[in-house]
Amino acid sequence: MSIILDALRRGRGRQTPRPGANAKTGANANAAQTDAVLATLGYGRFSPASPFNRLKRLLAYALVGVVFAFLLWWAVIWTTQSYFTTAQPAVVRTQAPASVPRPVLRPAPTETQPPKAEPTPTPTPTEPPAVVVPPPASTPVPAPAATASTSAAPPAAPSSAALSSAARTNVVSQPDDHFALAVYNQRIGNFEEALVHYKAVLQRDELNAEAHNNLGLLYRDKGLFADAAKELQRAIAINPRYAKAHNNLGVVYLSQRKLDSATAEFREVLAMDARNIEAMVNLAVAEKEAGRRDPARTALIRALELAPRNPDAHYNLALIEDEAGNTPQAIKHYKSFLQYGTVAHADLMTDVRKRVDTLNR
């Protein structure tokens, strides 16, 4: 059938006109006849069933499909982008904020300025009260042994150390201020009450270096040197740069005759503060007790250069010069001690005056 249809279509174009007829007219007539035959068979020139028309329809459908697919793809892309663009702020707004790390709180070091005459500060409930530590007095050298020609030198001055002075008066601001109550009872010599209040402070805040320092001094005053050293070591462990605790631990070591350990503590203080008078005087005492008189003299002279009115430095230097037989220098420093140490060492005044009278004979 296909061959016949193709022959008819080819013959449609090259049929010869009838004799006597117009060529153009005959050609048109033949074409019309061919078209009629094709139309009868369902393959007319403009028949929908013709392969050519089917191909055109397929191409048209394909083109429409491509356009529709493109429009659909563009619509999907536009809708998706619009959704994520508008939804993003909502995600950010509902996101949980990151937690801010809190600073780790540590005990503040003890202030170094001298105490002021003011009422006792009231500590806050969340941290230990800031305290002002007065400078400790040095531990003096014991008097040299008496000789046949001279009387004995004055006895050694009583030693004291740095006591944190949260309570600077005899009035306690609040009944639950355990630190102030402990200092107050320690000052008046009430060992048991002071011990109770210091333990209450440490039960509330084990990292209170000032409370450990003062408790160590409380034990020292009772002659409990091992307990005193333990508390002072805890204060230093909490705050390694706590100069007062280092100095006080050195004083305790002096009481235990641990001269090398005492010297190390005083040198530790001077490494932190080269102008610390108390550490210089105590270092001189430790050097003198260890039999090193020249380093002891050098340290005391340096202390007097920085603090010419320091009675402990004058007293200990007078003892060294007295022991060395340097009478003029011994008298000079004994007299300076009498001038500047009346209040701090009133119990030594009589003995020192007697020694000066003996050296003047």
Check residue 180 and give its pLDDT: 92
For 132, the 3-state DSSP assignment is: strand
Average pLDDT, the chain: 73
> Is the pLDDT assigned to residue 40 strictly greater than 70?
no
How many CB atoms are closer than 10 A to CB 171?
10
Any idea which of 116-125, 183-192, 280-289 has the lowest mean pLDDT?
116-125
What pTM was estimated for this model as a whole? 0.55
> What's the pLDDT score for residue 72?
86
CA-based nearest residue to 235, from 255, 220, 254:
220
- The pair of structure tokens assigned to 226 is 């091992």
Mean pLDDT on 287-311: 94
Look up residue 94 and give its two tokens.
């509902």
Q: Say what percent of the chain tops pLDDT 90.
A: 49
Tell me how far apart the alpha carbons of residues 102 and 245 are, in angstroms, rounded to a whole number.
Answer: 29
pLDDT digits (tens, 9 = 90+) for 114-154: 333 344 333 333 333 333 333 333 333 333 333 323 345 56
Among 45-54, 283-292, 342-351, which stretch is predicted with the lowest mean pLDDT? 45-54
Read off the tokens for 42.
Answer: 């369902």
pLDDT at 307 over 60: yes
Q: What is the tens place of the pLDDT at every residue in 205-223?
A: 999 999 999 999 999 999 9
Q: Which amino acid is at 183?
A: V
Between 343 and 100, the more confident residue is 343
What percentage of residues in the chain have a pLDDT greater than 70? 58
Q: Are 202 and 208 in contact (CB under 8 A)?
A: yes
pLDDT band at 242 (very low <50, low <70, confident <90, very high): very high
Is residue 80 over pLDDT 60?
A: yes
Would the pLDDT of 104 be above 70?
no
Report the C-alpha dihedral over residues 221, 224, 228, 230, rounded to 10 degrees: 180
C-alpha to C-alpha distances, 347 to 124, 220, 308, nearest whole angstrom: 40, 21, 22
Q: What SS3 class is residue 38?
A: helix
321 is written with which tokens?
């010069």
pLDDT at position 74 is 79
Which residue from 246, 242, 241, 243 is spatially nearest to 229, judged by alpha carbons? 246
Distance CA 353, CA 334 (A): 8
Kindly report which listed range (60-64, 128-132, 260-264, 355-359) carries the lowest average pLDDT score.
Answer: 128-132
Residue where the block lists tokens 């006080």: 248
270-345-302 Cα angle (round to 5):
30
Q: How far apart are CA 26 and CA 24, in angstroms?
A: 5
pLDDT-based confidence at residue 253 (cuts at 50, 70, 90): very high
Q: How far apart are CA 218 and CA 291, in angstroms?
A: 30
pLDDT at 250 > cutoff 90: yes
User: What pLDDT, in 10s, does the model give residues 8-20?
Assistant: 556 555 555 555 5
pLDDT band of residue 169 (cuts 50, 70, 90) is: very low
How far apart are alpha carbons 232 and 245 in whole angstroms? 6
- How far is it, in rounded angstroms, from Cα 218 to Cα 183? 10
Q: Using only C-alpha atoms, what is the Rg of the chain?
A: 55
Rounded to a whole number of angstroms, the distance between the first and last alpha carbons of the chain is 163
Q: Six-digit token pair at 139?
A: 């531990």
Q: What are the domain boundaries of the chain?
A: 1-49, 58-85, 159-256
Express each pLDDT in 346-356 by its tens digit.
999 999 999 99
Read off the amino acid at residue 245: A
b vs e for 286-308, b when ≥16 Cβ sit within 10 Å of the residue's Cβ?
bbbbeeeeeebbebbebbbeebe
- Take residue 13 and report the two structure tokens written for it: 């174009």
Contacts for 235 with CB less than 8 Å, ≥ 6 apart: 209, 210, 212, 213, 216, 242, 245
Q: 3-state class of 111 per DSSP? A: strand
163 secondary structure, DSSP code: -
Quick one: CATH architecture of 159-256? Answer: Alpha Horseshoe (1.25)
What number of residues does the chain have? 361
The per-residue DSSP string of 296-308 comes to HHHHHHHHHHH-T
Q: How far apart are CA 119 and CA 127, in angstroms?
A: 19
